[in-house]
Amino acid sequence: MDSTTTDMTPVGYEACTSLLTTLLTSYPPPFMFVYDPETPRLTSSVVRTLVQDLKTRSKTAGSPLKFASAVVNAVACFTRRLFYDTVLNALAEWRPSWEDGCGNWSGSGSMSGQRFNENFDAFVHGLQAIRTLLEHGSDDLTTKTSAKGKGKAKATSNNENETHRLIIVIERAERLKDSLPDLLVPLTRLAELSQLDVITIFVSDVRWADMRPSLGASPDPYYIDIPALSKQNTIEIMTTAFDTMASCSSSSKLVDAEAYSPVLRSLYDQFITTLYSICSPFVHDVYELMYIAAARWPGFILPVLEAHRAYIEELDRLRADGRSHEFDSDHRATEVSAHSDDEMRDHDIAGILYLPTEDTRIRLVRLFTPSFTSALEGLYPRLTHAADWAREHIPPANLLTLPYTQIPAHMSGALGAQTTGGAHRRDIHAFPRTSQFILVAAFLASTNSPKSDMRMFGRGTDERAKRRRRKGGSPRKAREGTGGGGIKIPQRLLGPTPFPVDRLLAILGVLLEEYDAETRPQVPQFAIPGEYTDMEIARVSIHAAIMELASMRLLIRVSSADRVDATPTFKCGISYDIALQLAREIGIVLNDLLWDSV
């Protein structure tokens, strides 16, 4: 599945692959558990390759031990039937075809037409049927040649000494516990139940102890713990990927055709080493580092390629002028990528890409180092994707010839490219005013406790002045000091609490009355103070705005939408920072209205 996985085992995995191979080819425990918390994806692909490898080798080498394997993903096999179908089809190497009505493998020869996906018993029967198929594979050869995907049959012979071993690898096995809990125990004892030579391998990033069924229903597995990749191994895996890239010529418009030229391999090594040293404090995952490398390398190598092209052009021009033999060294000195001396003259004349000098390389690395951090910041949380990032961070032309002061700012690591958005961009700040008020009111309703509402928002009828809590002298604090209970964590940090829509409207009313009354168009018929606001918060558009915000998940509806007669309750879906920004925009000092002010 993974494009970069080659037949060879990645470095750092030799120990566990040899262990697995030895076990599988000799006397394996029936249930193994491969645990890798760091790079489960890589480990899965290693196991997959290994099993595949064993199978093909056993087929060709004529060894007495034959393998049939199924590698399934516990997320993809989310129902029992799906699991049975996938495993049996894979073991039998059966590919359902559309023309045949997508039938599953249904037994071989005379026993065909059976259904194996009904329950676990049927599945065990299916496994036994597969074994029969493997043993009598050659018998079916004559009858089943037309059937697609029955390649297994061809390879096996009638040798009585052959043993057939079934391997079932389950990736992301931790999901079995949730999706197929009643399969977990039988799968771990599959060999016992089916009386077959079948090995179950779980691959997971969760410990067996965390997913083990209760009451000791499952036997303990044979544990294989994958150690974390060392620095050296990580770098090596990343650099070997370069060879794969170099061998398969890709014609993407995003990348220069020569970016993965084998000549540049040692520069790539240097690039990867720098990248690793910068990013490894934050990310260990080799795939993440490769992702960042893939995004940065095309831009990194571009100045070198450009300089080279310019040089070739220059050369051609001079040749055309008939002065190529006079091509002097001082002209070359102006070229940034001035080369080492001897062998390069040949390259010059042939126009072949060569490795830049050490100076140039150091210069390149120094120029691009700040952008590694920005790549990490933008790409690790996937704020943007690699192709886009690469496109946005193409270095300026002739970067290597520019003096240092003219290096554009985005090269020095600022996240400038992402934050630039036109004024007409859709943004939360472009919301209508009422929606902004509703969001702030929702934040207050979710953060303040309902008991505090009267103090925070209650306004006396006689004095219109705000009764705001004095900082520091609240009764709550006094109680806290004397009571000696646990430290109260501010609600802001505990997450939003649900509130009924009436409370939201009441708080919204207070906010509108105090912060919005002046900006409203004048309506003469409302003479009593507060009457206008009362009318405004009952209007249809307010309710429509609440529902729209709920549909955007900026307000999260807690109560079920089906119950019409109940008061709907909501939770606030925006963070403190956004609430603060919105509040500032509409002129509210948010901290003054928070019970647990920051």
Partner 1 sequence: MSSIDRDLEDPSKTCIYIPPGTSDEVAPDVSPYPSYQWRDLPGGYELRMQMYKLSWMKCLGRVKSIVRSLHSSVAAKVVHEVTHAYTDILPGLPYPELPVVAISAEGGSSSLYSLIRQQFDQLPPVVSDANQRENAIPDEPPRPPVILNHLYPADCLTLTAMMKAIVTGFVDQDGILEASIKRKPTTSLASYDINLLAAWYSALGYIPSLVVFLHDFEQFDPVVIQDVLYICSLSIPHLPLVFVLALSSPPTSPAKPSYLHVAYPRDTLALLRVSVLSAPAEAAVVEEIINKTFFDPDFEPDVVLGPAVLDFITDFSSRHCASIDALITMLQLIHLKHFTDPITLLMHPESHATRSRLRNSDARPFLDVLQARLLNSPGSKLAKENPLDSDSEERLSADVLLDAVSDANKAFRKKARGIRVALGIMRIVKDVVLGGKADQGRQGTGDLEMLPAVLRGRLNRDVRYLGMAAKKLSAQKLHELLSALHAFFHNLESAVVRREEEHARVKIVSLMAQLPEPDEVGEPPSGPAERPPAVVQLAADFGEWLTDFLEEHFVRLDECALWDVWYTGGTPFPSELINPAPRPTAVAALLHPDDVVHAHAELLKALRPPSDRTPELEPDDDERELELWELPDTTILFRRFVEAGRMVNVYDWFESFKVVLEDQQRHLCRRARQREKEAQKSQDSSPIKARSRKGKGKRRAVEMDVDEEEDPEMYDDEEDEELDEDEMEQWSVEVQARFMRALHELDFAGFIKHTGRKADHVIRTIYDVPD
Site for partner 1 in 515-544 (CB under 8 A): 521, 531, 534-536, 538-542, 544
Residue from the set 113, 216, 472, 486 that interacts with partner 1 by CB under 8 A: 113
Least distance (Å) between residue 538 CB and partner 1: 4
298 exposure class (CB count in 10 Å sphere: 0-12, 13-18, 19+): buried
The residue from 288, 314, 348, 585 that contacts partner 1 (CB under 8 A) is 288
Write down the least CB distance from residue 461 to partner 1, Å.
13
* 286 near partner 1 (CB under 8 A): yes
**Is residue 298 a contact point for partner 1 (CB under 8 A)?**
yes
Nearest CB to partner 1, comparing residues 191 and 582: 582
State which of residues 402, 428, 558, 586 lies at the interface with partner 1 (CB under 8 A).
428
Of 231 and 553, the one with the shorter C-beta distance to partner 1 is 553
The answer to whether 579 and 590 have CB atoms below 8 angstroms apart is: yes
- Listed ranges 128-136, 195-203, 314-322, 382-390: which one lies at the site for partner 1 (CB under 8 A): 382-390
Smallest distance from the beta carbon of 161 to partner 1, in angstroms?
Answer: 34
Scanning residues 565 to 584, which ones bind partner 1 (CB under 8 A)? Answer: 565, 574-575, 577-578, 581
Q: Does residue 381 contact residue 418 with C-beta atoms inside 8 Å?
A: no
Residues 56-75 that bind partner 1 (CB under 8 A): 73, 75
Size of the site for partner 1 (CB under 8 A): 96
Alpha-carbon distance of 143 to 154, in angstroms, equals 12
Residue number with CB closer to partner 1 (100 or 321): 100
Residue among 325 and 424 whose Cβ is closer to partner 1: 424
* Helical (H) or strand (E) element with 517: none
169 binds partner 1 (CB under 8 A): no
**Binding of residue 99 to partner 1 (CB under 8 A):** yes
> Which ranges in 420-568 belong to alpha helices (H)?
433-447, 453-457, 475-483, 491-494, 501-515, 531-537, 540-551
3-class secondary structure, 169: strand
Contact 184, 214 (CB under 8 A): no
Burial 133-150 (b: 16+ CB within 10 A, else e): bbbebebbeeebeebeeb
The binder of partner 1 chosen from 26, 216, 329, 382 (CB under 8 A): 382
Partners of residue 67 on adjacent β-strands: 165
Distance separating alpha carbons of residues 107 and 132, to the nearest angstrom: 9
Contacting range for partner 1; rule: CB under 8 A; set: 6-14, 114-122, 184-192, 587-595:
114-122
Residue 24 or 235 with smaller CB distance to partner 1 = 235
Site for partner 1 in 262-281 (CB under 8 A): none
Which residues between 387 and 406 bind partner 1 (CB under 8 A)? 387-388, 390
Report the residue number, 58 or 117, with the smaller CB distance to partner 1: 117
Task: Choose which of 60, 334, 405, 419 interacts with partner 1 (CB under 8 A).
Answer: 419
Give the alpha-carbon dihedral of 245, 251, 253, 258, to 10 degrees: 60
Q: Answer for the pair 545, 432: CB distance below 8 angstroms, yes or no.
A: yes
- Site mask for partner 1 (CB under 8 A), range 115-134, x = bound: x-xx----------------
Closest CA to 276 of 245, 243, 228, 238: 238
Distances (CA, A) of 416 to 375, 409, 492: 12, 8, 30
Give the nearest distance from C-beta 428 to partner 1 in angstroms: 5
Query: Which tokens belong to 333?
Result: 């000195």
Residue 74 or 166 having the CB closest to partner 1: 74
Q: By CB under 8 A, is residue 563 in contact with partner 1?
A: no
Q: Which of 82/206 has CB closer to partner 1?
A: 82
> Binding to partner 1 by residue 241, rule CB under 8 A?
yes
Contact call for residue 477 and partner 1 (CB under 8 A): no
Give the DSSP per-residue string, 16-34.
HHHHHHHHHHS---SEEEE
* 8 Å CB contact between 254 and 301: no
Give whichever of 319 and 385 is closer to partner 1, judged by the CB atom.
Answer: 385
**Residue that is written with structure tokens 């051609």 in the block:** 316
- The verdict on 89 binding partner 1 (CB under 8 A) reads yes
Position 484 contacts partner 1 (CB under 8 A): no
Q: Which residues contact 496 (CB under 8 A, 6 or more apart)?
A: 443, 446, 447, 556, 571, 572, 573
